[in-house]
Structure 1
């Protein structure tokens, strides 16, 4: 069953221990007063400068940590810890190297009380859904990076969660594989109707995937803007990224994000490396 998400005034602080010879403990505010509703079945993408609290927000949604103030709700019930109603896909695949593709997907199903046959059937169903039919007996070292990430997605979907949380799952992949998996993810989302919250640092990816793009401010992360993306049926054109509407949305999000990156640099929260990449200070 598809689920909806609500954040109500969420603030998250971390206690920072002093370094050697430094002052006493201090408090780092990662998120401040974030309120957001994600309707059931929506695909929401989330962008923000490095250090803006994107992963912290996903951890709160997954129940991996608790807010300092405010509340996180799924279908009106407060999130107090991890649950099978929320699947999580990280940048790292976290597959068991000694287990086959099929066994990696069935592993998490063992706690559902299913028979071995039921677990196997469900795992095969979801491997087929992500395009890995016929690869059930392969081990992780026999798979490409894109295929490993498909296994991780299948493993999360096999629970049949109402919500899928994704933390830059395609960041480590080459451009061609990333574009292919973006299309595959949209196909899977249409087929399952799952609510998706997808973190990315790539503006083009955020616009291509999301029905809405949430833009976080520099630290402490606040919800700066929600950009509605209306590109019609993304399957109707072979070159969507060159469409004038796509280019306009990308520019709008880039403008919002560029201002926050500049503020983060001015505040000393973000350093830009010689190669142009960002690093939280």
Structure 2
């Protein structure tokens, strides 16, 4: 389970990345306070000083407390927004916007309800200019890759939640991006389906060799999937520590979730997160009382 090549030049580089947001606050939210007539704008730093390198073919997982900027960081990697400080490089070139070298899978499937599974996968190929005669074959290939052979003609409402997410993954992979960005893609699924899709994702990653950046709130999911787990601090989000996970072949017969190594990694990450979650909760209380 080692598609990455650590000795190669990094695929992704984040150097001192900062992201700020302007938020409007009417003030006076404390008990008995009267809201001000005009909203006031305040500057909020979501991410500050993010330094991270990701090797080609590496599976990296980001975990952190709610509000630490995980999704913001993924948006920056996808080029959906731009940093206010620092820079992001992909293959040595600055990321300045969205590109076909990156595929994004969100928690919500974002499938077109009037299109079949095949049609949804083909939609991404249409946008990238793949000729009509090639689209069907590519769509079948990637639906088969995610275990949906035979479901090409089903519409989203005819598919389970897990199957819809498989379609979303197939759509992201079909135009062959170098990097796959995944923002809590399994969070809305039941536990059994989530574990099944984790196994499918590992199998797909091993077959394709894609560089994967995966966001999750689940420590077990982070340990099971990631070669490295980047633990983030409470807001403003920074990289607190990177944990290298050594579990061997996670697609072998024995489930590594029951191994002593899994328990050790899980406890290490939980310990790193424990104080950050407490700080995040305290920050929320302070902001609510202002």
TM over 0.5: yes
Match of 1:131 among 140, 147, 155: 147
Pair 1:57-2:64 in alignment: no
- In the aligned structure 2, how far is the partner of 1:113 from the partner of 1:29? 38
Q: Tell whether the 8 Å contact from 2:12 to 2:55 is kept in structure 1 after alignment.
A: yes
Q: Which one of the candidate residues 247, 258, 270 is aligned to 1:254?
A: 270
Paired position in structure 2 for 1:92: 108
1:277 corresponds to which residue?
Answer: none
RMSD in angstroms over aligned alpha carbons? 1.8
Q: Does 1:206 align with 2:222?
A: yes
Question: Unaligned regions of 5+ residues in structure 2, if any?
Answer: 5-9, 27-34
Residues 206-230 of structure 1 show CA distances to partners (whole Å, capped at 9, x for unaligned) of 0000000000000000100000001
Contact 1:51 1:218 in 2 (8 A): yes
Query: In the aligned structure 2, how far is the partner of 1:92 from the partner of 1:266?
Result: 29
Provide the rounded CA distance (Å) in 2 between the counterparts of 1:91 and 1:218. 22
Unaligned runs of 5+ residues in structure 1 are: 272-280
Question: Residues 269 and 234 from structure 1, CA distance in 2 versus in 1: closer, same or farther, beyond 3 angstroms?
Answer: farther
Q: 1:269 to 1:31 in 2, by over 3 A?
A: farther
Cα deviation for residue 113 of structure 1 reads: 2.5
The partner residue of 2:25 within 8, 18, 26 is 18
Q: Distance in 2 between matches of 1:39 and 1:108?
A: 26
Deviations 1:230-262 (A, max 9, x none): 111112342211100000000000000111001
Q: Which moved more, 1:230-239 or 1:203-212?
A: 230-239
Say whether 1:109 aligns with 2:107. no
2-structure distance, mates of 1:55, 1:230: 26
Give aligned pairs, total. Answer: 272
Return the offset for 1:269. 6.2
**Do 1:52 and 1:216's aligned partners in 2 also have CA atoms closer than 8 Å?**
yes
Any idea what the Cα deviations from partners look like across 1:21-58, whole Å, max 9, x if unmatched? 26621001000000100000000001000000000000
| Inter-partner Cα distance in structure 1 for 2:83 and 2:286 | 24
- 1:1-281 correspondence to structure 2 within 5 Å: 4-19=11-26, 21=36, 24-268=40-284
Conserved in 1, the CA contact under 8 Å of 2:202 and 2:251? no
TM-score (norm 1): 0.93
Distance 1:135 1:68, change over 3 A: same
Q: 1:136 to 1:115 in 2, by over 3 A?
A: same
**2:189 aligned counterpart, secondary structure:** coil
Deviation at 1:112, TM superposition (A): 2.6
1:140 & 1:52 partners in 2: Cα distance?
Answer: 32
Secondary structure of residue in 2 paired with 1:136: coil
Query: Distance between the aligned counterparts of 2:86 and 2:203, measured in 1?
Result: 34
* Matched position secondary structure for 1:191: helix
SS in 2 for 1:41: coil
